[in-house]
Amino acid sequence: MGAALVAAGSASATRECNGFQVCVPVAGPWVLTPGRTETQWQLSCPQRFVVGGLDAELTTRALDLVFRATLGSPVNPGISTSTAAVFLGRLVAGSDAAASFRPHIGCIPATGGGQRVPTALRKVYPPGKPTVVRASMLAVRAGATRRVTRVCRAGERLVTASSAIGFYTEQAPSRALAGAVQVTRTTAGGRVAVTIQGGAALSAVHAVVQLDLLCAGGG
């Protein structure tokens, strides 16, 4: 969801498919990461594929970028990763309103991951997946205001929420473009509401807001 499939030859600057004979490269948008607060972006593979490799492009070396992995052994696609990868970025030095990263994932055919060996001790559990990210992609339109509300699925509980702005452009966004999207977010009673305002600079640009709900209790 929210991903752009690219031909193998068009991702020559990145290495998300290195070492795989069969791999589908997927490029995300340029994700604004202007401050010290962590910004997250989820990028998904096509159906029946899992994340086998990751890479990214950064507009500044001051961006610290990692991804969320699942504990398990061996460290492998389908065990450490799943059908999507969550990138976590943070600007750790300086000030840049247009600081951004473009995530890339290399997707390989899903073959099923290994199983963890259960512990023999009571009241001790192996790491699992108590939470899930419910991501919504919200289009931004020039000169328009959009209001959206999202909740976790039935039986789930909202832990926290975050939002990030992405631009599907070949080049990283300028400061003017970065300032053309304004997002406000409120949370109350397990419901997350966002208001998105798009400026005139977006008239020829595909911009999106990804709203992520971290939900627990569904599994």
* Residue 214 pLDDT: 94
**Residue 129 — pLDDT band, cuts 50, 70, 90?**
confident
12, pLDDT greater than 60: no
Three-state DSSP at 48 gives coil
Q: Which of 48-57, 65-74, 142-151, 190-199 bottoms out in mean pLDDT, i.e. has the lowest?
A: 65-74
* Residue 128 pLDDT: 67
* Residue 10 pLDDT: 40
d(CA 138, CA 55): 24
Three-state DSSP at 92 gives coil
Which range in 72-76, 115-119, 135-139 is most confidently predicted, on average pLDDT?
135-139
* Residue 11 pLDDT: 41
pTM: 0.84
Contacts made by residues 37-40, CB under 8 angstroms, sequence distance 24+: 37/90, 38/88, 38/89, 38/90, 38/162, 39/88, 39/89, 39/90, 39/162, 39/164, 40/68, 40/86, 40/87, 40/88, 40/89, 40/162, 40/164, 40/212
* Residue 130 pLDDT: 83
126, pLDDT greater than 70: no
- Residues 136-181 have pLDDT tens digits of 999 999 999 999 999 999 999 999 999 999 999 999 999 999 999 9
Name which of 194, 169, 172 is nearest 183 in CA terms: 194
- Percent of the chain residues topping a pLDDT of 70: 86
Mean pLDDT score of the chain? 88
**Residue 122 — pLDDT band, cuts 50, 70, 90?**
low
79, pLDDT greater than 80: yes
